[in-house]
Structure 1
Amino acid sequence: MSFSSRLTRQPIAYDPDAGADAALAFGDLAPEVRGVIAGAAGCSPYLKGLMGREADWLRAALAAEPDGVLNGELDPLGDVALADLPGALRRAKRRIALYAALADLGGVWPLERVTGALTALADRAVDLSLKRLVAEEIRRGKLPGQQPEDAATAGGMVALAMGKMGAGELNYSSDIDLICLFDETRYSGSDAQEARAAFIRVTRKMSAILSDITGDGYVFRSDLRLRPDASVTPVCISMAAAEQYYESVGRTWERAAYIKARPCGGDLEAGGRFLRTLTPFVWRRHLDFAAIQDAHDMRLRIRDHKGLAGPVVIADHDMKLGIGGIREIEFFTQTRQLIAGGRDPDLRDRTTVGGLVALAAKGWIPADVADELSGLYRQHREVEHRLQMVNDAQTHRMPATAEGIDRIARFCGSGDTAAFRAVLKGRLMRVAELTESFFAPGEAADGPELTPQMAGIVDGWRSYPALRSDRARQIFKRVRPQILARLMRAASPDEALTAFDGFLSGLPAGVQLFSLFDANPSLIELIVDIAGTAPELARHLSRNSAVLDAVIGGSFFAPWPGVAGLVQGLTAQVATVEDYEKKLDLTRAWMKEWHFRIGVHHLRGLTDAFEAGKSYAELAEAVVVALWPVVVAEFARKHGPQPGRGAAVLGMGSLGAGRLNAGSDLDLIVIYDADGIESSEGPRPLATRAYFARLTQALVTALTAPMPNGRLYEVDMRLRPSGRQGPVATSWAAFRSYQETEAWTWEHLALTRARMLTGNHDLGAEIKAFRRALLADKGKGATVRGDVADMRARLLAHRPGGGWEAKAGPGRIMDIELAAQTCALIAGDPARRVEAQLRAGARAGVIRRAEEETLLGAYRLLWRVQAAGRLLSVPVPDPDGMGEGARSFVLRECGAETAEALGARILALTVAADGVIDAVMSDQAGRG
Structure 2
Amino acid sequence: MDFSARLTRCPLPYDPAAAAEGLRLMGDDLPAPLVPLIEGAAGCSPYLKDLITREAGWLSQALRRDPSLVTQGVLDPLEDCSLADLPEALRQAKRRIALYAGLADLGGVWSLEEVTAALTALADRAVDLSVKRLVAEEIRRGKLPGQTVDDIPTAAGMVVLAMGKMGAGELNYSSDIDLICLFDETRYPGSDAQEARAAFIRVTRKMAGILSDVTSGGYVFRTDLRLRPDASVTPVCISMAAAEQYYESVGRTWERAAYIKARPCGGDLEAGQRFLRTLRPFVWRRHLDFAAIQDAHDMRLRIRDHKGYNGPVVLEDHNMKLGIGGIREIEFFTQTRQLIAGGRDPDLRDRTTVGGLRALATRGWIAADVTAELTALYRHHREIEHRLQMVRDQQTQRLPTSAEEFDRLARFCGFADTEAFRAELKSKLLRVAELTESFFAPGEARSGPELSEAARDIVEGWSRYPALRSARGREIFTRVRPRILSRLAQAANPDEALLAFDGFLSGLPAGVQIFSLFEANETLIDLIADIAATSPELSRYLSRNSAVLDAVIGGSFFAPWPGVPELIFSLSEAMAQESDYERRLDRARAWMKEWHFRTGVHHLRGLIDAFEAGKQYAELAEAVVVALWPVVVAEFARKHGPEPGPGAVVLGMGSLGAGRLNAGSDLDLIMLYDDGGVEMSSGPRPLGARVYYARLTQALVTALTAQMSNGRLYEVDMRLRPSGRAGPVATAFSAFTAYQREEAWTWEHLALTRARVLAGNRALGEAVEAFRRDLLALKGRGDHVRADVADMRARLLQHKPGGGWEAKSGPGRMMDIELVAQTCALIAGDPARRAEAQLRAGLRAGLLNKEEEGSLATALRLLWRVQTTARLLEMPDPDPDRMAEGARGFILRECGAAEAAELAARLTELSSRADAIITAFLAR
Shorter-chain TM-score bucket reads over 0.9
Residue 563 of structure 1 deviates from its aligned partner by: 0.8
The RMSD of aligned alpha carbons is 0.7
Name the CA distance, whole Å, in 2 between partners of 1:103 and 1:490. Answer: 64
Alignment of 1:19 onto 2:19: yes
Residue 676 of structure 1 deviates from its aligned partner by: 0.7
Question: Which residue matches 1:6?
Answer: 6
Q: Structure 2 matches for 1:764-783, cutoff 5 A? A: 764-783=765-784
Which has the higher mean CA deviation after the structures are superposed, 585-594 or 9-18? 9-18
Which digits, 9 at most, give the CA deviation of each residue in 1:366-397, with x for residues without a partner? 00000000000000000000111111001110
Alignment of 1:587 onto 2:588: yes
Question: Which residue matches 2:69?
Answer: 68
Alignment of 1:426 onto 2:420: no
Question: Which residue matches 1:375?
Answer: 376
Name the CA distance, whole Å, in 1 between partners of 2:769 and 2:66. Answer: 69
Name the CA distance, whole Å, in 1 between partners of 2:417 and 2:310. Answer: 28
Residue 652 of structure 1 deviates from its aligned partner by: 0.3
Question: Which residue matches 1:171?
Answer: 172
Residue 30 of structure 1 deviates from its aligned partner by: 2.1
Question: Which residue matches 1:524?
Answer: 525
Q: TM-score, normalised by structure 1?
A: 0.99
Residue 31 of structure 1 deviates from its aligned partner by: 2.8
Q: Structure 2 matches for 1:449-848, cutoff 5 A? A: 449-848=450-849
Question: Which residue matches 1:222?
Answer: 223
Q: Structure 2 matches for 1:16-415, cutoff 5 A? A: 16-26=16-26, 27-415=28-416
Give the aligned residue type for 1:665: D
Residue 441 of structure 1 deviates from its aligned partner by: 3.1
Which digits, 9 at most, give the CA deviation of each residue in 1:416-454, with x for residues without a partner? 111111100000000000000000033022111111111
Question: Which residue matches 1:922?
Answer: 923
Which digits, 9 at most, give the CA deviation of each residue in 1:680-721, with x for residues without a partner? 111111111111111101111111111111111100000000
- Report if aligned partners of 2:79, 2:129 keep a CA contact under 8 Å in 1: yes
Name the CA distance, whole Å, in 1 between partners of 2:453 and 2:25. Answer: 87
Residue 555 of structure 1 deviates from its aligned partner by: 1.1
- Report if aligned partners of 2:822, 2:838 keep a CA contact under 8 Å in 1: yes
Equivalent position SS for 1:650: strand
Give the aligned residue type for 2:400: P
Name the CA distance, whole Å, in 1 between partners of 2:368 and 2:297. Answer: 23
Equivalent position SS for 1:301: helix
Question: Which residue matches 2:417?
Answer: 416
Equivalent position SS for 2:668: strand
Equivalent position SS for 2:44: coil
Name the CA distance, whole Å, in 1 between partners of 2:615 and 2:416. Answer: 69
Question: Which residue matches 1:926?
Answer: none
Q: Where does the alignment leave 5 or more consecutive residues of structure 2 unmatched?
A: none
Name the CA distance, whole Å, in 2 between partners of 1:376 and 1:19. Answer: 30
Give the aligned residue type for 1:674: D
Name the CA distance, whole Å, in 2 between partners of 1:206 and 1:597. Answer: 54
Name the CA distance, whole Å, in 1 between partners of 2:66 and 2:263. Answer: 30
Name the CA distance, whole Å, in 1 between partners of 2:242 and 2:646. Answer: 47
Residue 477 of structure 1 deviates from its aligned partner by: 1.2
Which digits, 9 at most, give the CA deviation of each residue in 1:39-86, with x for residues without a partner? 111111111111111111111111222111111100000001110000
Residue 237 of structure 1 deviates from its aligned partner by: 0.7
Residue 908 of structure 1 deviates from its aligned partner by: 0.2
Q: TM-score, normalised by structure 2?
A: 0.99
Equivalent position SS for 1:756: strand
Name the CA distance, whole Å, in 1 between partners of 2:442 and 2:111. Answer: 35
Residue 190 of structure 1 deviates from its aligned partner by: 1.2
Name the CA distance, whole Å, in 2 between partners of 1:645 and 1:62. Answer: 69
Give the aligned residue type for 1:833: R
Name the CA distance, whole Å, in 1 between partners of 2:494 and 2:318. Answer: 52
- Report if aligned partners of 2:294, 2:442 keep a CA contact under 8 Å in 1: no
- Report if aligned partners of 2:357, 2:371 keep a CA contact under 8 Å in 1: yes
Name the CA distance, whole Å, in 2 between partners of 1:460 and 1:700. Answer: 43
Residue 479 of structure 1 deviates from its aligned partner by: 0.8
Q: Structure 2 matches for 1:439-458, cutoff 5 A? A: 439-458=440-459
Which digits, 9 at most, give the CA deviation of each residue in 1:341-384, with x for residues without a partner? 11111100000000000000010000000000000000000000
Equivalent position SS for 2:260: coil
Give the aligned residue type for 1:13: P
Equivalent position SS for 1:258: helix
Name the CA distance, whole Å, in 2 between partners of 1:442 and 1:603. Answer: 29
Which digits, 9 at most, give the CA deviation of each residue in 1:591-640, with x for residues without a partner? 00000000000000000000000100000011010111111111111111
User: How many pairs does the alignment contain?
Assistant: 923
Name the CA distance, whole Å, in 2 between partners of 1:347 and 1:22. Answer: 46
Name the CA distance, whole Å, in 2 between partners of 1:813 and 1:355. Answer: 53
Give the aligned residue type for 2:809: A
Name the CA distance, whole Å, in 2 between partners of 1:373 and 1:470. Answer: 34
Equivalent position SS for 1:108: coil
Which has the higher mean CA deviation after the structures are superposed, 99-108 or 786-795? 99-108
Name the CA distance, whole Å, in 2 between partners of 1:329 and 1:592. Answer: 35
Name the CA distance, whole Å, in 1 between partners of 2:630 and 2:2. Answer: 58
Residue 579 of structure 1 deviates from its aligned partner by: 1.2
Name the CA distance, whole Å, in 1 between partners of 2:739 and 2:137. Answer: 77
Q: Where does the alignment leave 5 or more consecutive residues of structure 1 unmatched?
A: 924-928
Give the aligned residue type for 2:68: D
Which has the higher mean CA deviation after the structures are superposed, 703-712 or 398-407? 398-407
Equivalent position SS for 1:63: coil
Equivalent position SS for 2:85: helix
Residue 25 of structure 1 deviates from its aligned partner by: 2.5
Name the CA distance, whole Å, in 2 between partners of 1:303 and 1:640. Answer: 62
- Report if aligned partners of 2:666, 2:716 keep a CA contact under 8 Å in 1: yes
Question: Which residue matches 1:880?
Answer: 881
Give the aligned residue type for 1:377: Y
Name the CA distance, whole Å, in 2 between partners of 1:367 and 1:131. Answer: 44
Equivalent position SS for 2:84: helix
* Sequence identity percentage: 76
Give the aligned residue type for 2:373: E
Name the CA distance, whole Å, in 1 between partners of 2:689 and 2:503. Answer: 51
Give the aligned residue type for 1:865: V
Equivalent position SS for 1:669: strand
Name the CA distance, whole Å, in 2 between partners of 1:200 and 1:9. Answer: 47
Give the aligned residue type for 1:47: L
Residue 32 of structure 1 deviates from its aligned partner by: 2.8
Give the aligned residue type for 1:274: F
Residue 578 of structure 1 deviates from its aligned partner by: 1.6
Equivalent position SS for 1:50: helix
Name the CA distance, whole Å, in 2 between partners of 1:514 and 1:84. Answer: 59
Name the CA distance, whole Å, in 2 between partners of 1:736 and 1:579. Answer: 38
Give the aligned residue type for 2:309: L
Which digits, 9 at most, give the CA deviation of each residue in 1:248-284, with x for residues without a partner? 1111100100100111011111111111111111111
Name the CA distance, whole Å, in 2 between partners of 1:688 and 1:66. Answer: 68
- Report if aligned partners of 2:572, 2:627 keep a CA contact under 8 Å in 1: yes
Equivalent position SS for 2:435: helix
Give the aligned residue type for 2:136: A
